[in-house]
Structure 1
Amino acid sequence: MSDVHAAIERAHRDEWAQVVATLARRIGDLDIAEEMAAEAFAAAVERWPVDGVPPKPGAWLTTTAHRRAIDRLRREVRRDEKQREALMLADTPEPLGAIDDDRLRLVFTCCHPAINMEARVALTLRMVGGLTVAEIARAFLVQETAMSRRITRAKEKIKAAHIPYRVPDREDLPARVAGVLTVLFLIFNEGYLGSEPGGETVRGELTGEAIRLARLIKVLLPDDGEVAGLLALMLLIEARRAARVSASGELVPLDEQDRAAWDRALIAEGHALVRARLAAGEAPGRYQILAAINAVHTDARDIRDTDWWQVVALYDQLARVDPSPIVRLNRAIAVAEVDGAEVALAQVEGLPLDGYRAFHATRADLLRRAGRSGDARAAYERAIALEGNSAETAYLVRRRDQLGTGVQ
């Protein structure tokens, strides 16, 4: 027994700082990290004398602390959901600004128009989403040091400008909502498919929180098409989460997913929002078009039933609103289903996305489909070399290793 206690004392001395630092990076809150680390060590005092000292005490403590932090965050989310349900049952709607939600106020504080768009989005991802600087840098395809400076400048701007901590008045909302929606979508993306090497593939606490906040914003702006579009988009993507990663921990692409595992209630809600925006007859924005694309995918019972012509047409519409290289890359994936891999490859080659893992993974798949195994292998190797989560890496390694075996 004394040996176990000695092991716990050594772990406390040698591992405490690392456990707290790792957890703080993951959840973005040092105070909670320290509390959960203390709980993990308390659990070690209780469990190690029974189960024995684990081979890697630091990893055991970090995992235990992380699980307890997730449980705590989920409890907070459920508490906020109950408060929102109570508001919705009230006889009269709450006036603007009366929604008592600390995170929503923090989102709007960070997304003040006095801060430039990229800086406000980055700051909010750090302060509200709890994303690490490295994760945010990967989302923006920039160096971590540059992103760190951007976040620091944004904090200094809030302090110097005395920006208030509150949900803004109705007339102030339009100037901030675009940045808020960008933040929520990036938080959601990091939760749906994590970018941190060695980190969790799926982080349900992030996707759930992004959807929760989007619902609150829709209460504030019930007629805003892009708010409804983003909520629909996130619901339709979240509906597929259970089928996204296999039991062995490998990423499952859309064409291989078990559609019976999709959440039909979320799909129905997302489709209803998309139909409502179509009925409004307004020119759709980026999130509404992305939601429509995902509505086409989730409407198909089988990948072969997908209306790829409609998907390409929607990407053409999206490219007029957002003519980014990533939109062009995603459009090419749909083009491959309509016109073949060689046509899609011609559209992909030359895109300025060399540091973007999905670019090389897409190019590798198109080369494989075109029968160019040697080039496909090189593209898979490039994708695997770029940092990403373990589930995606496992999928890319399997596809690379299948080249030349006759497996398609």
Structure 2
Amino acid sequence: MMHLDDGTLRRMQDEPLAISGVQQLHYDRCQDCQQRRARIATQAGSVERLLRTPALEPRAEAAFGRLMAGIQRAGAPRPLRWYQRWSGPGTAYARRLTRPALAVAVAAALLVGFTGYEVAPRLLTVFHPTRVAPVRVSASDLRAGQTLDYGTLTWTPAPPRMEQAASLAQAARRAGLPALTPGALPAAVGTTVSYATLGQATASYQFDSRKLARSAQSQGLHAAAMPAAVDGSVLVIDSGPSLVQVYGPLPEASGASPGSSAERPGLSESLPRLLIGETRAPTVTSTGASARQLEDYLLSQPGVPADIAAQVRAIQDPTSTLLVPVPSGLATSRTVRVQGVDGLLVDAGIGAGVVWQKGGIIYAVLGQLTPDQILQIAASLH
């Protein structure tokens, strides 16, 4: 008789009485079939252990603990929304703008124009930008120097806040700005879009020599004496309203409290797929010191890099120039024509942006796209 096949030997493992007497007799006498059945039995045991389902053992106490933990998390402060993280007052990012170096280089920068924060220390008696110009900055420039307190910032009545809108039409009505729509967009941008607005805001910044002296003493720094023409002068800032359209997935909020370093995401996380923004050009007026007096004094203070000071002094008409910081070694910039006027294109490799001013409104298009794509989108706005 021929040897038993594997199927029969496997059946003997599950149903020992299911084989015929002849097959059983052969098996009892055949050493080869017995060895093969032993191997099959070992394999079957391994499969059984892998597929075995453990007995259900309810653990009510552990389940209740998880439930209570979830309830406590639900009652915790909600994570900040994307537009709150970009514009929340009192953040460490906004407070750093009171440094004189940043006041010079960043006060009138693109995102400051959109959020309306910390334009106060601008070195101008009357500031109403009609043109855009780059200022080269380095990471060390932005980190250098301690934070000196030159005076008091007061919002009237309160700092503005970003508010999300349900549609572009609603956002445009709320901000009183044109509802600009782009033409065809690159496929990478997607169709998901969010809208937000920022209302008009007024703030004042009063220079105070005594406050500066206390700030310098507490940090062990020597600050030049504040000129009499500057001491007590008040800068009045009018900014906004503003409107932004954000395309693509929004970065997740971390849940950090306002003002914490974790609140502001990294560049790759915070840069949107595409952002289209517009804001009324800000205006800054002074009750005392002239633009030249403020410029000469603040540019000579500790923490202002010499190269940034030289760039600001080289601007022919700072009262009408919006400065856009361009990171040295990380981005390049050039003047371009957009919507019939001169604008500034910044190429950072991982993304690009273009800024221009027209009819009293500052426009910007930026995102994780190529410079050519950014310019095409800017030209298609209507």
The higher relative CO (CA closer than 8 Å, separation ≥ 6) is in: 2
Q: TM-score, normalised by structure 1?
A: 0.23
Q: TM-score, normalised by structure 2?
A: 0.24
